[in-house]
Amino acid sequence: MRVLIAEDDEVSRRILEYWLKKWGYEVIIAHNGRQAWEVLNNRDAPRMAILDWMMPEMDGLEVCRLVREKWENEYIYIIILTAKDTKPDIIKALDAGADDYINKPYYQGELQSRIKAGRRIIELEKELSGKIKSLEEALLHVKQLQGLLPICSYCKKVRDDNNYWHQVEEYISEHSDAKFSHGICPDCYEKYAKADLENFKRSSEKKAGK
């Protein structure tokens, strides 16, 4: 999993990079907020970002707001890293769109646990997106059999978009996963099948008499 680190302080950035690589993450580096936004404003953006609050050109909260306002693709989990530790500061960061907030100096075990929590959320979001996509495809498939179908008043054949006429069962089989088993309804039995069966029975009896 790729993680963006946006931190202008070289020592803090190198420490973060060391721990994330040790934990098995691929690290992308940004030295200021504008570089961070350039990385995140990309279709191939990492799914997680650790942003320092105070950075030159654009601070972490500005980057966070831009991601939430402009980004329309897969969700990006954002952790704000800062020495600010008052409750109004935390509220301000979360209101800007941050998912989590870590105070400096941080304990590496806490950082690792918070990153793991973010990863779980990203994986759940990815799973949910896949289910939504499957549902949309299923609904699209269902819609193929909706709308106005031209059907012959005499033979009951259905006309397709290319002006070809098909038997109803043939048309439905081509546009859905439905399978057909043939039977005889009571009305058709009385109207057609009963006479045919009686004729067949009399014919069989005559042949047997011979």
Quick one: pLDDT at residue 14?
94
Measure the CA–CA gap between 72 and 75, rounded to whole angstroms: 8
Q: In the chain, pLDDT over 90 holds for what percent of residues?
A: 45
3-state secondary structure of 19: helix
Mean pLDDT of 168-192: 73
* Of 205 and 75, more confident: 75
pLDDT digits (tens, 9 = 90+) for 58-103: 999 999 999 999 888 888 999 999 888 888 998 999 999 999 999 8
Given a contact cutoff of 8 angstroms between Cβ atoms, the answer to whether 101 and 52 are in contact is no
- Provide the residue count of the chain: 210
Ordered by where they begin, the domains of the chain are: 2-139 (3.40.50.2300), 158-209 (no CATH)
- Joined tokens for residue 138: 């299923």
CA–CA separation, 76 vs 53, rounded Å?
17
Which one-letter amino acid corresponds to residue 199? N
Which residue type does 33 have? G
pLDDT for residue 142: 59
pLDDT score of 129: 79
Residue type, 15: I
pLDDT of residue 144: 56
- pLDDT at residue 35 in the model: 95
Are 3 and 40 within 8 A, CB to CB?
A: no
Angle (deg, nearest 10), helices 60-70 and 33-40: 20
pLDDT at 206: 73
Tell me how far apart the alpha carbons of residues 108 and 142 are, in angstroms, rounded to a whole number. Answer: 51
**Per residue in 50-62, pLDDT tens?**
999 999 999 999 9
Q: How confident is the model at residue 163 (pLDDT cuts 50, 70, 90)?
A: confident
Q: Using CA atoms, how far apart are residues 203 and 185, in angstroms rounded to an integer?
A: 25
Q: What is the pLDDT of residues 100-159, one digit of tens each?
A: 999 888 889 999 999 999 999 999 888 887 788 777 777 766 555 555 667 777 777 777
Q: Is the pLDDT of residue 20 over 80?
A: yes
Q: Where is pLDDT greater, at 151 or 4?
A: 4
Per-residue confidence (pLDDT) for residue 125, from 0 to 100: 85
**Integer Cα distance of 110 and 13 in angstroms:** 17
pLDDT score at 25: 95
